[in-house]
Amino acid sequence: MACYAALLHQQPAASLSPLTSRRAGSCRVPPPPLLQSRAPPSSARARISPRCSYTAAGGSAGAGEPSAAALRRVLETPGAHQAPACYDALSARLIERAGFRVCFTSGFSISAARLGLPDVGLISYGEVIDQGRLIAEAVSIPVIGDADNGYGNCMNVKRTVKGFINAGFAGIILEDQVSPKACGHTQGRKVVSREEAIMHIKAAVDARKESGSDIVIVARTDSRQALSLDEALWRARAFADAGADVLFIDALVSREEMKAFCAVSPGLPKMANMLEGGGKTPILSPVELEETGYKLVAYPLSLIGVSMRAMEDALVAIKGGRIPPPGSLPSFEEIKDTLGFNHYYEEEKQYIVTPAQSSYRSGYYDYTSEAGSSGDTKSRTEKSQEPIIDILPQLYDLGSSGGRDRSSGMWSRTLRLKITGRDGIQKIDARIPAGFLEGMTNVIPGLAGANILERLRDAPIDSDNPQNGQILLDFEDGMGDRIQVFIA
Distance CA 141, CA 105 (A): 13
pLDDT digits (tens, 9 = 90+) for 119-147: 888 999 999 999 999 999 999 999 999 99
Greatest Cα pair distance in the chain: 108
Q: Which residue has the higher pLDDT, 442 or 217?
A: 217
Distance CA 181, CA 191 (A): 9
pLDDT digits (tens, 9 = 90+) for 70-106: 999 999 999 999 999 999 999 999 999 999 999 999 9
pLDDT digits (tens, 9 = 90+) for 257-280: 999 999 999 989 999 999 998 889
The C-alpha angle with vertex 237 and arms to 231 and 243, in degrees rounded to 5, equals: 135
Q: Domains (ranges, CATH) in the chain?
A: 67-311 (3.20.20.60), 411-487 (no CATH)
pLDDT at 441: 54
- The percentage of the chain sitting over the pLDDT mark of 90, rounded to a whole number, equals 54
Query: Mean pLDDT throughout 1-20?
Result: 40
CA-based torsion, 262, 264, 270, 274: positive or negative: negative
Edge to edge, the sheet with strand 482-487 lists: 426-433, 414-420, 482-487, 470-476
Q: Identify the band that residue 486 occupies on the pLDDT scale cut at 50, 70 and 90.
A: confident
Mean pLDDT of the chain: 78
Q: Identify the band that residue 197 occupies on the pLDDT scale cut at 50, 70 and 90.
A: very high
Does the structure show a pLDDT above 80 at 247?
Answer: yes
pLDDT digits (tens, 9 = 90+) for 390-438: 334 333 444 444 444 444 555 566 778 888 888 888 888 888 777 666 5
Query: Mean pLDDT throughout 295-313?
Result: 96
Task: List Cα–Cα distances, 461 to 469, 481, 488, in angstroms.
Answer: 6, 22, 11
